[in-house]
Amino acid sequence: MNHPQYGDEVNLNVDNEWSNLDIANLKAQSVLAILRNQNADGAIIASPDFAQYHYSWLRDGSFIAYALDHAGEHEAASRFHSWVTRTLDGIGESIDDVVAKMLNGQEVDPLHMPPARFSLTNSTEPDDWPNFQIDGYGTWLWALGRHMEMTGIGVLSESLRTTVDRVARYLSTYAFSPCYDVWEESRSGLHTSTLACVYGGLCTAAHLLGNGEYLLRASDVAKRVRDSSLPLGRYVKSNESNDVDSSILWLGTPFNVVSSTDEVFAATVREIENALTLKGGLRRYPTDVYFGSGAWPVLTASLGWHFVATGNLSEAIRCRDWIVQRFDDQGRLGEQFFGETRDSTSYSKWVDLWGPPAKDLVWSHAMFIILCEEIESALAVSGSTSNLRQTNNEKGAS
Ligand code: BGC
């Protein structure tokens, strides 16, 4: 097939029959969407059209780098990891400082914790963003480990060793400190999905560094997560909320804190689907109000990824096709959908504050790529390729 080139006009037949849509072509467009939002240094902005997202987040960027690796764009993934490494080396002293303060029992101002996102012009520019979010640091270590595996890099260079060790020490020290969650909210909680990311990062660091202490700390994290499921027989959003949150899906895939087929986890996934499905996609959590709390491609892809892991390919394909329907006629894939009709009051409040939600979110493209790749690999293993081009009979939102 002909892959589109950078700068080509996107010509998606979104109004026509789905059977005409070539998933591979769409995936290639998503790869281009990522590449054109990466700067020469390797940083990747979260969204080109939403001013608040003109930053490079560790969280978004790490999933994006994994998608790039999945799509064979190893050089671009490598540039992201090099940019993170340089950026974290640049704030190395302040990371070491907050670790030392915690170990000495000193107070640390959350505003002075290592950043969750970095500006492209000045990586260490201070701002009043809720910085104290440790999940992105864990996700970065995890994505770096996957990058090394997928590119056959067996050992860390000496300088990268220092960075990985520093980040792992930070995670290990702050694993059980309440911080902002993956949605940059709820500062005072211990969040299940944050713990999942920390676990993924610590396991990767333990493996890369041959450090058993990080592995022990990771098992403490896993135990804490498992214990949190005991009262309700399912996982919860945080130690402050018994709600579910779609990001809990990451406990199974990709971070492997629990087995994707585990019964308690399966009960959690059912509850997530029951409580958070909106017109076929997944919302973040029940009381969410951000832009009316629409359904997110990032989370619907996470659900699809889970279905691949549990061998339910038809549901995985349903999730993929839901995302396919969310691309606009310029090939953009937004952050969330249908919030304006679900809760028009909250939607309007956010629009008044920040303008309409991101029309093109790079993380959405990344998760779409990951899900497509996972489905293709699973179909290849099962010896079938016939489902690669699905006919979607449920045209439009249900
Ligand atoms: C989300 C974060 C995300 C950021 C940039 C926020 O609205 O809650 O998870 O990292 O946007 O995409």
Q: What is the mean pLDDT of residues 52-81?
A: 97
Q: Is there an atom of ligand 1 within 6 Å of 179 CB?
A: no
> Cα 75 to chain center, whole Å?
20
Residue pair 59/366 in contact (Cβ under 8 Å)? The answer is no
Q: Please state, as a whole number, how many other Cβ atoms lie within 10 Å of the Cβ of residue 330.
A: 13
Which domains does the chain carry?
Answer: 20-397 (1.50.10.10)
Select which of 135, 288, 321, 335 is catalytic: 335
DSSP letter at 285? -
Distance CA 133, CA 141 (A): 15
- Indicate if 184 belongs to the active site: yes
Q: Is there an atom of ligand 1 within 6 Å of 183 CB?
A: yes
Is the confidence at residue 132, as pLDDT, over 60? yes
pLDDT value at residue 123 = 60
Which of 192-206, 329-343, 372-386 is predicted least confidently?
372-386
pLDDT value at residue 124 = 66
Residue 254 Cα to ligand 1 middle (Å): 18
For the CA of 284, the nearest atom of ligand 1: 8
Angstrom distances, CA of residue 153 to CA of 51, 198, 233, 378, 382: 37, 23, 41, 25, 29
Residue 372 Cα to ligand 1 middle (Å): 22
Distance CA 330, CA 258 (A): 39
pLDDT value at residue 120 = 87
Distance CA 143, CA 164 (A): 12
Is the confidence at residue 94, as pLDDT, over 50? yes
Classified as helix, coil or strand, 117 is strand
Q: Is there an atom of ligand 1 within 6 Å of 60 CB?
A: yes
Residue pair 137/118 in contact (Cβ under 8 Å)? The answer is no
> Cα 195 to chain center, whole Å?
14
pLDDT value at residue 385 = 53
Q: Is 315 exposed, middle or buried (0-12, 13-18, 19+ CB in 10 A)?
A: middle
Distance CA 235, CA 172 (A): 22
Q: Is there an atom of ligand 1 within 6 Å of 182 CB?
A: yes
Q: Is there an atom of ligand 1 within 6 Å of 340 CB?
A: no
Q: Which residue has the higher pLDDT, 230 or 124?
A: 230
pLDDT value at residue 375 = 94
pTM for the model stands at: 0.92
Give residue 383's region: left, alpha or beta (phi > 0; psi -120 to 50).
left
Residue 183 Cα to ligand 1 middle (Å): 6
Distance CA 88, CA 62 (A): 14
> Taking all residues of the chain, what is their mean pLDDT, rounded to a whole number?
91
> Closest by alpha carbon to 181, among 195, 202, 166?
195
Q: pLDDT tens for residues 223-240?
A: 999 999 999 999 999 999
Angstrom distances, CA of residue 94 to CA of 137, 218, 341, 359: 14, 24, 44, 35
Q: pLDDT tens for residues 163-213?
A: 999 999 999 999 999 999 999 999 999 999 999 999 999 999 999 999 999
Is the confidence at residue 358, as pLDDT, over 90? yes
Residue pair 145/208 in contact (Cβ under 8 Å)? The answer is yes
Pocket mutation for ligand 1, best pick of 53, 285, 364 (most atoms within 8 Å of C-beta): 53
Q: Beta strand pairing status for 281-282 and 277-278?
A: antiparallel
pLDDT value at residue 107 = 87
pLDDT value at residue 19 = 38
Pocket mutation for ligand 1, best pick of 59, 197, 350 (most atoms within 8 Å of C-beta): 59
Beta-sheet strands, E only, within the chain: 55-57, 117-119, 277-278, 281-282
User: Please, which pLDDT band fits residue 388 given cuts at 50, 70 and 90?
Assistant: very low
User: Please, which pLDDT band fits residue 122 given cuts at 50, 70 and 90?
Assistant: low
Angstrom distances, CA of residue 277 to CA of 20, 88, 151, 240, 398: 27, 37, 37, 23, 11
pLDDT value at residue 59 = 98
Q: What is the mean pLDDT of residues 36-60?
A: 97
